[in-house]
Amino acid sequence: MSKEIIEKLKAEISGFKSEIKAEKVGRVYEVGDGVCRVWGLSDVMASEMVEIETDAGMVSGIALNLEEDSVGVVILGDPLKVKEGHVVRGSGRVLSVRVGREMVGRVVNALGEPIDGRGPLFASEKDGAFYPVEKIAPGVITRESVNTPLHTGIKAIDAMIPIGRGQRELIIGDRQIGKSAIAIDTIINQQQDTSRTIPVCIYVAVGQRESKVAKIVAELEKRGAMKYSIVVSASASDAASLQYLAPFTGCAIGEFFMDKGEDALIIYDDLSKHANAYRQISLLLRRPPGREAFPGDIFYLHSRLLERAAKLSKEYGGGSLTALPIIETQLGDVSAYIPTNVISITDGQIYLEPDLFYQGVRPAVNVGLSVSRVGSAAQTKAMKKVAGRLRLDLAQFRELQAFVQFATDLDESTKKRIVRGQVLTELLKQNDYEPIPFERQVVTLYAGINGYLDGIAVSDIKDFEKKFGDYMEKMHKDVLDAVKKSGELALAMEEKLKVAIDEVKRLYFLNR
């Protein structure tokens, strides 16, 4: 065996041809805070990867600032290894990451390197493909309209703020309000939506606590979701350069699958921290600060990232990349700089309100302020049937909510609307990590909007819902399967459903 290895090495050495060519280099003349300034490198490209030759080995960087007499390089590796006088060489290629199917189920950093301790991603140098981190978004002609639903498993969202494959839907709200929970539920729910292909899910953690990322990975593994997910992590302890790069790396991974005609879902958690990291890098590079000290191209940072999420037409493979960016607001201020920027870029937003959260309405989705610009084009016919009236009933309830405390002094129709609103509000509440398949959502909401649950106490709604769901699974699975398969609630199935609801109600009151 060792003889073979020796022979192989001998052949490689004798066949080795080394090219000696002139190359332009630079030298570090200033370094600090993760950024260094380099003299020379006169033909370096913008965003070109560079290698800094330090005493402790090569350190990577990106040339971000091309100035008249120097180049500003953001250091991607350990900045403490870089000293004045070190030679810097250009790599000749714009920053790219090696991506491939081998990444599914793994946790990687912003450079696409594995950080989960499970060994290298690729078995050989030839595996995977290099995808540029910065890429121009698909053009108008290559796209088609969003027409396939992406079910989140959350009733309030799938019914009233439907998301489609290829859409960008913003999740916005204050801290600790359930933004990440919506994103994780969406990932977990994909394995329940078996009528469609499971999209590859990419969760990009930017500036998060490592304990939170570990908890999310553990939860995804527990629910069996890691087998189709990839986690890209640039935690709070990572350099600002890595936090800046992480969403682009995640996007490059998503584009790999999209270009193969597959569906992918990417969650950016969160872009507020991404904007802060970019502000830090820009200030260190001495770029002129603008509003709130953000650089002038902060809008372009997010617009070019989010525009890469698209639904491609069949001629271009028919793949899609759905983006769910998350933005954290301060005290519910959606009119701040970064939130308004991202709201104007995305195809809708899911607004989570603190007041609703503290009232116990979780997920705390404000249906009035939330919107999906794709709308019912991304909804199944079955869901459209139940969702239309749901929005109206809830809107009427919101108007009458002030009168709830005076319920005894109101006319019958007003009382009915209030009861219906309370029932539907209770029905839309859902626990974390418990996404519901869309066919179950349809039958549950059907019961709610058609008044079958009006006679049940609000405090018993959740219990009834669970029992109803279990009953349908055991006794009327054909109805659920028909809805799942066809996406419609046909007349015959609707009749069966009505009978089932009556039966469950009868049994429920009998057993109380």
Partner 1 sequence: MKYSSNIYATALLGALKDGYHGTVVKNFLAVVRRNGDFSKIPVIVREFKKKYNRARGFRYVEVALAREDAKTIGAIKESMKLAQDPAVVIDKEILGGMIVTVDGEIVVDGSIKTRIQKLFK
Task: Note the residues at the interface with partner 1 (CB under 8 A).
Answer: 12-13, 16, 18, 20-27, 29, 39-42, 68-70, 87
User: How many angstroms separate the CA atoms of 299 and 305, rounded?
Assistant: 10
> Residues within the annotated binding site?
173-180
Rounded to the nearest whole angstrom, what is the least distance from the CB of residue 69 to partner 1 in the complex?
Answer: 5
User: How many angstroms separate the CA atoms of 424 and 390, rounded?
Assistant: 8
Cβ proximity of 253 and 199 under 8 Å? no
Cβ proximity of 410 and 419 under 8 Å? no
Rounded to the nearest whole angstrom, what is the least distance from the CB of residue 68 to partner 1 in the complex?
Answer: 6
User: Which residue lies nearer to partner 1 by CB, 22 or 491?
Assistant: 22
Rounded to the nearest whole angstrom, what is the least distance from the CB of residue 62 to partner 1 in the complex?
Answer: 20
Backbone angles phi, psi at 481, to 5 degrees: -65, -35
User: Which residue lies nearer to partner 1 by CB, 14 or 237?
Assistant: 14
Question: CB-based contacts of 140: which residues, under 8 Å, 6+ apart?
Answer: none
> Residues within the annotated binding site for ATP?
173-180
Taking alpha carbons only, the member of 371, 298, 282 closest to residue 336 is: 298
Rounded to the nearest whole angstrom, what is the least distance from the CB of residue 146 to partner 1 in the complex?
Answer: 45
Rounded to the nearest whole angstrom, what is the least distance from the CB of residue 56 to partner 1 in the complex?
Answer: 15
Rounded to the nearest whole angstrom, what is the least distance from the CB of residue 4 to partner 1 in the complex?
Answer: 19
506 given a catalytic annotation: no
Tokens 């935690």: give the residue: 235
In the set 209, 286, 373, 506, the catalytic residue is: 373
Work out whether strand 200-206 and strand 263-269 pair parallel, antiparallel, or are unpaired. parallel
User: Which residue lies nearer to partner 1 by CB, 29 or 508?
Assistant: 29
Cβ proximity of 84 and 28 under 8 Å? yes
User: Which residue lies nearer to partner 1 by CB, 20 or 140?
Assistant: 20
Indicate the DSSP class of residue 460: G
User: Which residue lies nearer to partner 1 by CB, 12 or 412?
Assistant: 12
442 to each of 163, 393, 447, 482, how far by Cα in Å? 16, 16, 9, 12
User: How many angstroms separate the CA atoms of 326 and 330, rounded?
Assistant: 13
Cβ proximity of 327 and 271 under 8 Å? yes
In terms of C-beta density within 10 A (0-12 exposed, 13-18 middle, 19 or more buried), how is residue 12 classed? exposed
User: Which residue lies nearer to partner 1 by CB, 41 or 501?
Assistant: 41
Q: How far apart are the first and last CA of the chain?
A: 76
Task: Return the ∠ at Cα 406 (arms to 403 and 407), rounded to 5°.
Answer: 90
Cβ proximity of 349 and 324 under 8 Å? no
Three-class DSSP category at 244: helix
Kindly list the catalytic residues.
373
